[in-house]
Amino acid sequence: MTDTLAVVDGRVLTPAFDVVEADVLVDADAGEILEVAPDLASEADETLDATDSLVVPGLVNAHCHAAMTLLRGYADDKQLEAWLQEDIWPAEAELTAEDVAAGTRLAAVEMIRSGTTAFADMYFHVGEVVEAVREAGLRARVGHGVVTVGKDDEAARDDFAESLAVAEEYDGAADGRVRTAVMPHAPHTVGTQFFEEFVPRVREAGVPFHFHLNETEVYLDEIADEAGVRPTEYADDLGLLSDTTFVAHGVHTDAAEMETLAERGTAVVHCPASNAKLNSGMAPVQELLDAGVPVALGTDGAASNNDLDLFDELRDAAMIGKLAADDATAVDAETAFGMATAGGAAALGFDAGRIEAGAAADLAVVDLDAPHLTPEHDLVSHLVYAARGSDVRHTVCDGRVLMRDRDVLAFDESAVRERAQEHAEALVARAEE
């Protein structure tokens, strides 16, 4: 273990989106950035070469179901409801802890390769997720997804209780890189009485909430019919919204709902690719931002994306954001990149997403030595519109190098891929029996 690491001889993207020639000195034990300045190599125990490269904050994938990598390409080109009911839920019903272990490791490799250093994970078998995060060296906010529809009261209560127990058990795991949340799947998939029973207990325990909100119009109607209010008001009435809460999607969110989200400080995690692929719609991202709602970026699961490369998401967010706003100046490159870094870190409650002294030492080093990143008129534009995950050379999280020169250090990558392939095949075979 080295005490200090310096990322040297490259350029650095500052929180103000300036590009400066500087080294980044990191306290590897504390996982913190110490200094951003020229010529820091001599002060470090270990260096990471960033020649011809741009050092950027590690990207934050603020909504994911990591182990769904096992279902990548399993069912495409279907509307969300049919896709869930006919393909995804039957497969997930067969999911074992070992499947989650295999799928989350595959996700971790993919995220490290594409410069993602932190993610939110809503899934099952959270102990396995935590172990994969620990082994990978990533940072994550994890939780057990609660669904009560179709369950009797006891099973429903057990499910919500498990989400809280898991959140309390694993918070602070992996040297503090793992934080937790209680994750009710969505307002319409968890019964009101269970929210009423558990929300006060979760609040008392000081645990954040993460759930799906306003993903499709179909779901909107269900809530509106039952409760007579929009889902955001319904969630607010239940006490679900606060500045530690982050919600996924927000595709169909009206102006009053935006005002509520902004007042509560609740972040919306925009998942443009998943929303497009499942035809959920185009989230009004620029409107959300203009209304003061914090916005982060997420890939969602690999079954509806179909990759975990946030560089794809950056491009999608900027492009689809323009179409949604009917304005080509909307969701500009800096805005998009901010959503994937500082915006994501804030949503997940991590002191990261920016390169300056005191922030978490979570970094991605992007190789600029590439035809598609030539010429260099504007590097932020390149990050959003032209770069792809494979341009990332090195990934650093919590002061530790997770990938060096495109070599993922924590895992035997081919073993991870082989294991995932085996588990994926067995999983769908069981589901289709």
The residues in 377-406 that bind a copy of itself, with binding defined as CB under 8 A, are 377-379, 381-382, 385-386, 388-391
Task: Identify which of 120, 114, 122 has the alpha carbon closest to the alpha carbon of residue 92.
Answer: 122
Alpha carbons 24 and 46: distance in angstroms, whole number: 12
C-beta of 112: minimal distance to a copy of itself in Å?
9
Residue closer to a copy of itself by CB (options 256, 328) is 328
Candidate list 9, 92, 110, 362; residue touching a copy of itself; CB under 8 A: 110
Binding positions for a copy of itself, 309-368, rule CB under 8 A: 309, 312, 315-316, 318-320, 322-323, 325-330, 332-333
Q: Which amino acid is at 132?
A: A
46 a known binding residue? no
Binding positions for a copy of itself, 174-233, rule CB under 8 A: none
Residue closer to a copy of itself by CB (options 85, 193) is 85
76 binds a copy of itself (CB under 8 A): yes
Q: 292-309 in b/e burial notation, b at 16+ Cβ within 10 A?
A: ebbbbbbbbbbbbbbbbb
Candidate list 94, 259, 263, 307; residue touching a copy of itself; CB under 8 A: 307
C-beta of 373: minimal distance to a copy of itself in Å?
8
Which residues fall within 8 angstroms of residue 89, CB to CB, at 6 or more apart? none
C-beta of 339: minimal distance to a copy of itself in Å?
14
Q: With CB under 8 A as the contact rule, which of the stretches 117-125, 169-177, 194-202, 369-377 interacts with a copy of itself?
A: 369-377
- Residues 259-298, one symbol each (x = binds a copy of itself by CB under 8 A, - = not), give --------------x--xxxx-xx----------------
65 a known binding residue? yes
374 binds a copy of itself (CB under 8 A): yes
Residue closer to a copy of itself by CB (options 41, 386) is 386
Token representation of residue 397: 């999280």
Alpha carbons 135 and 56: distance in angstroms, whole number: 23
Residue closer to a copy of itself by CB (options 2, 96) is 96
C-beta of 251: minimal distance to a copy of itself in Å?
11
Candidate list 85, 193, 242, 421; residue touching a copy of itself; CB under 8 A: 421
Residue closer to a copy of itself by CB (options 192, 390) is 390
416 binds a copy of itself (CB under 8 A): yes
List the end-to-end C-alpha distance of the chain, in Å, as a whole number. Answer: 49
Annotated binding-site residues for Zn(2+) read 63, 65, 212, 300
